[in-house]
Amino acid sequence: MTSFLSKGWRITFGTVSHKNPNAIDLTKFGVEEVCLELNSTSFDEFITDLKPTIVVFDRFITEEQFGWRVAEYCPKALRVLDTEDLHCLRKTRHEALKKGIEFSNETLLNSEISKREIAAIYRCDISLIISTFEMKLLKEVFKIDKSLLYHLPFLFDKIDENNSWKPYDERHHFVFIGNFLHAPNLDATIQLKKHIWKEIRKRIPTAELHVYGAYPTQQVLEFTNANEGFFVHGFVEDASLVLENSKVLLAPLRFGAGIKGKFTSAMLCGTPNITTSIGAEGMCSELPWNGFIVDETEDFIDSAVELYTNEKRWKQAQQYGLQIINSKYNKELIEDDFISYMLEILSNLEDHRNNNFTGKMLLHHSLQSSKYMSKWIQEKNSNLQ
């Protein structure tokens, strides 16, 4: 949205979600906020009056709900799917972990949610893919044409090499941060409590682990134990304030997808981390990670102790984070190309869609079921009133 605003575009943000106390007030940035209703002709009237040039769907479920309505009432609008991360990848990995089986591309290809998400990608003109790993997966495993995909990671201002990060000796303790409605974060916190932290604490008796994140479960809240140096704080207003005062971020993620905001936030604050292959997946390409990437519990513990107690290694990891942000997430290098790409597709929209017959077919057939189910619910609701 900030990229669009920087070009002088008018933005309307529509959502069916009820606003909660932690929500950002987008009107402060000049964005109009609109409450939408599911399965209602009110959206048809809204979108017809608005006449958007570009429509961005936040995740594939939103496209399933509103994509056919946009296509019907604003056929010339560019339809963009912001995948956030590939939900089918995260959910299939989670299911494999729960069942104790190994994740494979075969299980991914046979997943119901994969079929839904990939169909949404085909129905849209462009899909924004956040990680290089997911770009490769979509092109090589799902065989999606590259013309339908655009790699768009997080966008950050370049870090000044003469930054004012807090030095090693002024930082204290380990930290974990993440929203607990997100299953990988809940699982990682359980791993820290049950399998990792006690051994780290044994080796560094003065260290503490502080866990932050909105919507912690009762189970997580009960993990707090001052004698063990394990503290759960819940939601924090300013995550950067927590990260810039912490020495090391711990994130033993066993499943997930996309790229993780906790790591880029930590890099921006000069805080190294320990994570897994899945945690760092698609985030740094050929560059060295700003800490350690390990998948075994013992290696995770050893790496955490090493990074926390070795100032030289810690400073080196910090610099690696700076390099990752400035080369992989540099807004200045990414933003204009992204905007230009969208406008180029928009200027040749008919040809672009003619080259995506699968998308046309899915829009014609698959969405008829969503369309008429929605109309049935709509009619049912009107009869109940």
Q: Render pLDDT for 58-117 as a digit per residue (tens, 0 to 9).
A: 999 999 999 999 999 999 999 999 999 999 999 999 999 999 999 999 999 999 999 999
Q: Render pLDDT for 280-304 as a digit per residue (tens, 0 to 9).
A: 999 999 999 999 999 999 999 999 9
| pLDDT in the model for residue 385 | 60
Which pair of tokens denotes residue 333? 């290098």
| pLDDT in the model for residue 170 | 96
Least confident of 230-244, 330-344, 354-368: 354-368
The helix-helix angle for 60-73 and 112-123 (nearest 10°) equals 30
**189 pLDDT band (50/70/90 cuts)?**
very high
Q: What pTM was estimated for this model as a whole?
A: 0.90
Determine if residue 258 is left, alpha or beta; phi over 0 gives left, psi from -120 to 50 gives alpha, anything else beta: left
Task: Give 24 or 187, the one with higher predicted confidence.
Answer: 187
Asked if residue 35 has pLDDT above 90, the reply is yes
> How far, in Å, CA of 16 to CA of 57, rounded?
12
Structural domains of the chain in order of their starting residue, each with its CATH number:
36-155+331-384 (3.40.50), 168-328 (3.40.50.2000)
Query: Which single residue is written with the structure tokens 């905007």?
Result: 339
